[in-house]
């Protein structure tokens, strides 16, 4: 098999290659003066099982086009099978019609990926489970939970912890980790007056005297986590940490996290962290390369991927 990387998160691609004791296939991805993207693969890939690693994070449209053009180049170079490894799947929050005359962009992107030559998709923590059904090709959705569970056990030991879902939509995710950690569960009941803004209403569950761990798939502006942390501290929580899979951290999110009462934000490297995030004393990054690398190895060897989570 061969690994090939676009430009969205080169460090993660190199870490996956190191885990698999391989090197990345030589390629060139550049942008012309008029912002058109050009791709060239500098090695023979005929008959190969190729894994293209690319998160469709900011700038989402550029990174998505890099992925599509790279897969088209591989298909025209007669690659035997093309797997799109998308650690962070952009447009995932547009997974349904929210009003009249609005698109379902996640389905459109899924169609584009299939049409560009992908034979299968490997991704991490899709925002909504139904997106897996948007693809008409085999799709493996990995979970960041095992990586987070190991870190939580190491950091918190035997302390009394409460897993917290920052909204009602994340209850299933938080309950799953709470069961594995034998922890209690709490829920933040919030109301979102407009897109990008949230207002905490109530805390459902007992958090007084506990170390609270919020769990979410995406941290975008940081407002939800900051508001929820303040509400949990008001209810008597000893500390509040947040674990998220995808650290989008748009705009002044890092500054918002820094100024909040949140003790720590732990995120994975599915999206390449910004310099400000890496310098922040409140933000810590967990590597996803072992999980992604092992999943790629299993796919290449036609082994079970789901057994990665049987524990």
The catalytic site residues sit at: 190
Q: Which residues, in sequence order, are bridge partners of residue 5? A: 53
As a whole number of angstroms, the distance between CA 79 and CA 50 comes to 7
Tokens standing for 257?
């996290």
As a whole number of angstroms, the distance between CA 280 and CA 293 comes to 28
Residue with tokens 């919020």: 214
As a whole number of angstroms, the distance between CA 227 and CA 225 comes to 6
As a whole number of angstroms, the distance between CA 287 and CA 150 comes to 12
Answer yes or no: are the C-beta atoms of 273 and 265 closer than 8 Å.
Answer: no
Tokens standing for 177?
């980790």
- Please tell me what DSSP assigns to residue 96: S
As a whole number of angstroms, the distance between CA 274 and CA 253 comes to 11
Answer yes or no: are the C-beta atoms of 274 and 251 closer than 8 Å.
Answer: no
CA 275 to chain centre: 18
As a whole number of angstroms, the distance between CA 307 and CA 311 comes to 8
Q: Which residues, in sequence order, are bridge partners of residue 179? A: none
Strands (DSSP E) contained in the chain are 2-5, 27-31, 37-41, 49-53, 81-86, 120-124, 139-142, 161-165, 184-194, 197-204, 211-219, 239-247, 264-268, 283-286
């Amino acid at each position: 098999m061969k690994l090939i990387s676009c430009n969205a998160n080169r460090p993660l691609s190199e870490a996956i290659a190191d885990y698999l004791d391989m090197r990345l296939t030589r390629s060139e991805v550049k942008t012309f003066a008029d912002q058109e993207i050009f791709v060239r693969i500098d090695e023979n890939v005929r008959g190969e099982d190729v894994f293209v690693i690319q998160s469709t994070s900011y700038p989402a449209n550029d990174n998505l086009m890099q992925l599509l053009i790279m897969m088209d180049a591989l298909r025209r170079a007669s690659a035997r099978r093309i797997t799109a490894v998308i650690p962070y799947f952009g447009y995932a929050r547009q997974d349904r019609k929210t009003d009249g005359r609005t698109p379902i962009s996640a389905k459109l992107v899924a169609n584009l990926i299939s049409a560009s030559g992908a034979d299968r998709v490997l991704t991490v923590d899709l925002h909504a489970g139904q997106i897996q059904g948007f693809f008409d090709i085999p799709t493996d959705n990995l979970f960041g939970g095992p990586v987070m569970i190991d870190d939580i056990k190491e950091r918190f030991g035997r302390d009394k912890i409460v897993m917290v879902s920052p909204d009602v939509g994340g209850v299933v995710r938080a309950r799953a980790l709470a069961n594995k950690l034998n922890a209690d569960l709490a829920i933040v009941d919030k109301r979102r007056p407009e897109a990008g803004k949230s207002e905490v209403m109530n805390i459902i569950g007992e958090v007084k005297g506990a170390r609270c761990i919020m769990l979410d798939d995406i941290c975008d502006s940081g407002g939800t986590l900051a508001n929820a942390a303040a509400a949990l501290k008001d209810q008597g929580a000893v500390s509040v940490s947040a674990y998220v899979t995808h650290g989008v951290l748009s705009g002044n999110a890092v500054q918002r996290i820094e100024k909040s009462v949140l003790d720590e934000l732990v995120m994975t490297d599915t999206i390449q962290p910004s310099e400000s995030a890496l310098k922040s004393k409140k933000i810590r990054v967990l590597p996803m390369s072992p999980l992604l690398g092992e999943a790629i190895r299993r796919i290449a060897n036609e082994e079970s991927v789901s057994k990665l989570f049987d524990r």
